[in-house]
Amino acid sequence: FLGVGAYAHNYFVTKLGIPFPFALVMAGFVSAAVGIAFALPALRMTGIYLAIATLAFAVILDQVFSHWGSVTGGFRGVPVARPNLFGWSMATETHFYYLCLVVLILVTLGARNILRSATGRAMMAIRDSEISAQSMGIHIARTKVTAFGLSTFITGIAGGLLAHKLQFISPEAFSIILSIQLLLMIVVGGLGSLHGCFYGAIIVAFLPQFLA
């Protein structure tokens, strides 16, 4: 889903000439659409079975990235230009850092508001006990699909930013190792913890540098 967002965003900006902010949001929606399409047949899966299914889906998407040359550039990959915000080119890493920081703050505030809403409370209820949540009148399938759509929307936006960070995207950039690293960030930071995502990302990202 990170790769879907990256390729979609680059296609919107490069091929269609859509301005950066709109292309980034549209990439999120494309990733969310793919996520929802995957979530519908995967609704009955939980735990390790869902993890295996998502890994299988990643292998399928890797083949799509490799062979859909007109959009993804295939194995050759595609270059990604510097982000241009309404005529202001972010030529330095510092500019891009602050752009990512603004997006991060907006996404975090949005996630916090969702968790405090009825939808967020329904998601937490399903996480704790599906049977109890269903007995309270919560629509299990719809809430799960919503959760998957929201998470893949955010992942698509992250993919668009990652494309600009790498400045060149190819199928090799979205490997299983990257998936494991992202999952490790969540596990280390604490499942179900919004601020834990930050702690986990800091530890996983900086620990190899620190050990080196």
Rounded mean pLDDT for each run of 10 residues along the chain, 212 residues in total: 91 87 93 90 78 82 82 79 76 86 94 90 87 87 90 93 88 83 86 85 87 86
Give the integer Cα–Cα distance in Å for 126 and 138. 8
pLDDT value, residue 22: 92
pLDDT value, residue 205: 86
Give the integer Cα–Cα distance in Å for 183 and 74. 27
pLDDT value, residue 85: 78
Angle in degrees, CA 26, 45, 180, rounded to 5: 65
- Rounded (10°) CA dihedral 118, 121, 122, 128: -170
H-run or E-run covering 6: helix 2-14
Whether the CB-CB separation of 165 and 96 falls below 8 Å is answered with yes
pLDDT value, residue 158: 94
Amino acid present at 47: G
Which pTM value belongs to this model? 0.85
Whether the CB-CB separation of 5 and 34 falls below 8 Å is answered with no
pLDDT value, residue 176: 81
pLDDT value, residue 48: 76
